[in-house]
Amino acid sequence: MTRQNGGKTTRPAQRRPRAIQRSKQVNPFKTDVPFKIKDVKYCNSLSDEDETDGAAGGGDAEEMLRKMMQLKLGVGGEGEKKPKPKVLDSLDLDGIVSYIKSGKAKKIVTMAGAGISTSAGIPDFRSPGTGLYDNLQEYNLPDPQAVFDISFFRENPTPFYKLAKSLYPEESKFKPTPCHHFIKLLADKGLLLRHYTQNIDTLERLAGLSDELLIEAHGTFHSAHCTDNSCKKEYSQEWVKGKLSDI
Ligand SMILES: [Zn+2]
């Protein structure tokens, strides 16, 4: 150990944690574990590297790091040479289909966005030209996203209600797509662990997916509640639908 710990660039020794006060040779990466002789060796290899001209110390440090990575993370060294068993035959839809058909997939999680509902006729939010945000001019909003801003809603709820009315899920108006039916099929076969959706259109429910398999992460038209924080009374979809018909 050639390094002098004179406090030139560090705090005074008396203010340091006890583990470091015991010896300047303690591995700086292990100050919270009991001091061990083998740590001194690692510390020498690491901390002397930039202060000595010799390459030997660097080699030791590399070897030590390589072994540590191999041990802790299972990367590098011998482990890397063994090919991991393939899950999918191919990284495409065919590969996924054959994996599901093989019977090995038993807990499938699906995650969906607006794309699975656009073929049902429901506009997404951000597509230029056809997206909802591009078609809100008639509401005279300060900005398109204000239609979903709760502070704006409290001042002027009409734009939201008008938009909600145009999007309101009714079986006669919007029908679930093959994608929704596929997710329901997974559920029927007992393979679906959970379906996460960003969509508020309730088409998963219309396809018959049950409540316990469904996470509507961005909310849903299925239920509504009073926006008064001290109230929060729940209202049914039918109740809201009745109110929207007056708009
Ligand atoms: Zn209320």
Chain-centroid distance, C-alpha 101? 27
Rg (CA), the chain: 31
Q: Looking at residues 145-168, what average pLDDT do you find?
A: 87
Helices of type H across 11-129:
18-21, 37-47, 56-73, 77-81, 93-101, 115-118
pLDDT of residue 226: 92
Separation of CA 227 and ligand 1 centre (Å): 7
pLDDT at 54 over 90: no
Q: In the 8-state DSSP scheme, what is residue 140?
A: -
What does residue 54 show for φ and ψ, rounded to 5 degrees? -65, 150
Q: What is the fold of 93-245?
A: SIR2/SIRT2 'Small Domain' (3.30.1600)
Of 65-74, 89-98, 141-150, 207-216, the range with the lowest mean pLDDT is: 65-74
Q: Looking at residues 19-28, what average pLDDT do you find?
A: 46
Structure tokens at 204: 């998963």
Other CB atoms within 10 A of residue 65 CB = 14
Separation of CA 223 and ligand 1 centre (Å): 14
pLDDT of residue 213: 97
Average model confidence (pLDDT) for the chain?
77
Separation of CA 169 and ligand 1 centre (Å): 24
> How does pLDDT run across 105-136, given as a tens digit for each residue?
999 999 999 899 988 988 777 777 777 777 77
pLDDT at 22 over 90: no
Separation of CA 154 and ligand 1 centre (Å): 13
pLDDT of residue 127: 77
Separation of CA 148 and ligand 1 centre (Å): 19
Separation of CA 160 and ligand 1 centre (Å): 18
Looking at per-residue pLDDT, the higher value among 7 and 247 belongs to 247
Separation of CA 240 and ligand 1 centre (Å): 14
Q: Is 180 a catalytic residue?
A: no
pLDDT at 151 over 80: yes
Domain boundaries, the chain: 16-81, 93-245
Please identify every residue whose CB atom is under 5 Å from ligand 1, which is an ion: 226, 228, 231, 233
Other CB atoms within 10 A of residue 50 CB = 8
Could you tell me which of 44, 54, 17 has the C-alpha nearest to residue 33?
A: 17
pLDDT at 55 over 50: no
Catalytic residue among 195, 218, 222, 225: 218
